[in-house]
Structure 1
Amino acid sequence: MPLCKAVIVPGNGAGDVEHCNWYGWAKKEINKMPDMICLLKNMPDPVTARECLWLPFMEKELGCDEQTVIIGHSSGAAAAMRYAETHKVHSIVLVGAYTSDLGDKNERESGYFSRPWEWEKIRGNCAHIVQFGSTDDPFLPWSEQQAVADGLQAQLHKYTDRGHFQNTHFPELILTVHKLRDAE
């Protein structure tokens, strides 16, 4: 199926997502692409980012399906991975992805880290998996990001100077979506 939609799933605590990090900018850039639409909405339970609320929202409100690339940042990357365990999607693009609750109570309460990751199911439900990570991320140890890349056999874009990808522009993401749009 051809790719026709991108959905940006933000990190927790993002506030108004249209004006946070690169999310609104990326939405505008993706919407300029022929035959593409990009959705970005404020998520329910934006601070704790509970899996039991986010995954149904991704399915019902954002319509994530086999023609969708899910772009997940931080908690949104965890949501994208859990979603792809049980749903077929075109692609997932993970930005600042990690595998554990990092010893943080709020992360533990989200529910994403309460069971092992089903890497094989995720790979089987996605035609393409791309990951962006940075060794200088102040929140995520590189070992967590590398574990995601290894588990998913992701196409990894490793940086040393992007922190947690909280900048206002992210041109490499747009190039990736262009390539995914044209991929089989």
Structure 2
Amino acid sequence: MKRIVILPGNGGGSVETSNWYSWARDRFQELNDTEVILRDMPDPEIAREKYWIPFMHNELKCDENTVIIGHSSGAEAAKRYAEKYKVHGIVLVSSCVTDLGDDTEKESGYYSRPWEWKKIKENTEWIIQFGSTDDPFIPWQEQQEIVNQLSPELYKYTNKGHFMTSVFPELIKAVKKRLECGY
């Protein structure tokens, strides 16, 4: 069975009413043989790594059969998770590599040490990245560093901001394509 776990960004409140998360879950649930998991995360305001990574492992059961779709802080969690554990694939939406000088981001813990790019690549079958040059929170050079280090399948836009919309058809199309090519 295919598994997809959707990880939200921080500060969004309930995942059921935030951004495109529940909309994407409902689209992915239409796929045969696919379990889709979307849950409120512990510590949703700061999204601290010390809470999220164990929750992903112990509660969400992310494993080598799981595709993790992470938005913003959820993308940072997906990368850090893939440093330690094998997953089928990761999808990074509005991802960055530093805390950008923001105290809340610094407190999350994701940026307290260098990224282990080689381990992330070794522990994933594939990586997709969605980014936009007009993201109001994450400068393109941050997103470009991920491209440089991970060589993901890149979907680069100039008009999607921080991907905080209620629908995200490009995500569905890209992930379906990967799943159809052989899980």
Provide the TM-score with structure 1 as the length reference.
Answer: 0.97
How far is 1:150 from its partner? 1.1
Q: Which residue of 2 aligns with 1:12?
A: 10
- Distance in 2 (CA, whole Å) between partners of 1:106 and 1:9 is 18
Does 2:26 align with 1:28? Answer: yes
Give unmatched runs, 5+ long, in structure 1. none
SS of residue paired to 2:107: helix
Give unmatched runs, 5+ long, in structure 2. none
- Distance in 2 (CA, whole Å) between partners of 1:90 and 1:62 is 14
SS of residue paired to 2:74: helix
CA deviation map 1:102-155 (0-9, x unaligned): 000110010000000010100000000000000000000000000011111111
- Distance in 2 (CA, whole Å) between partners of 1:155 and 1:115 is 25
2:167 counterpart (161, 169, 174): 169
Q: Which residue of 2 aligns with 1:60?
A: 58
1:51 counterpart (23, 26, 49): 49
How far is 1:60 from its partner? 1.0
CA deviation map 1:59-112 (0-9, x unaligned): 111111111100000000000000000100000000000000000011001000
- Contact preservation (8 Å) 1:22, 1:166: yes
Does 2:144 align with 1:146? Answer: yes
Task: Read off the aligned partner of 1:69 and give its amino acid letter.
Answer: V
Task: Read off the aligned partner of 1:19 and give its amino acid letter.
Answer: T
Q: How does 1:78-157 map to 2 (within 5 A)?
A: 78-157=76-155
- Distance in 2 (CA, whole Å) between partners of 1:132 and 1:147 is 13
Does 2:91 align with 1:74? Answer: no
Structure 1 stretches of 4+ moved >6 Å? none
- Distance in 2 (CA, whole Å) between partners of 1:45 and 1:19 is 17
Q: Which residue of 1 aligns with 2:37?
A: 39
Task: Read off the aligned partner of 1:143 and give its amino acid letter.
Answer: Q
How far is 1:180 from its partner? 2.1
- Contact preservation (8 Å) 1:91, 1:180: no
How far is 1:183 from its partner? 3.0
Provide the TM-score with structure 2 as the length reference.
Answer: 0.98
How far is 1:32 from its partner? 0.5
How far is 1:181 from its partner? 1.6
RMSD of Structure 2 on Structure 1 (CA): 0.8
